[in-house]
Amino acid sequence: MQWERLQTKLSAQFSDGDLLDLDAILFLIGVQELGQLHRNYKKEQKLELMHIAICKVLEPYGYYKFDFVDEEGWPHYTVIKSLPFLKAGEQSVLMKEAIVNYFLSSGFIE
């Protein structure tokens, strides 16, 4: 499955092979989207980075739309439509699919 291959590839590159979970991968996407790779983030900023990632990966599904970048370089998104009510397992499936599509479109995986 593409998720496992992506998870293994990212884990090898960013965590010395320790398997990254969904939240860690969302954090990586958020850092990538922010473009401020070499800095330390406070706990609140880490949550904001994960929110950026969620917005970015769900944007092609029509849930969010990129709005603007603020003066500090942080991207902001507008909610286009609410996410449907999903059970935890269904949320995980949606996020994994969206993350795989994000990395497919970037060319990181095929």
What pLDDT is attached to residue 1?
86
* Phi and psi based region of residue 85 (left: phi greater than 0; alpha: psi -120 to 50; beta: remaining): beta
Residue 43, both tokens: 């706990």
Residue 30 CB contacts under 8 Å (≥ 6 apart), including other chains? 48, 49, 50, 51, 52, 53, 56
Per-residue pLDDT of 4-19, as tens digits, reads 999 999 999 988 879 9
Q: How far is CA 100 from the centre of its chain?
A: 10
Per-residue pLDDT of 53-84, as tens digits, reads 999 999 999 999 999 999 999 999 999 999 88
What's the pTM value of the predicted model, to 2 decimals?
Answer: 0.91
109: confidence class by pLDDT, cuts 50, 70, 90:
confident
Q: Tell me the Cα Rg of the chain.
A: 14
Per-residue pLDDT of 22-60, as tens digits, reads 999 999 999 999 998 778 899 999 999 999 999 999 999
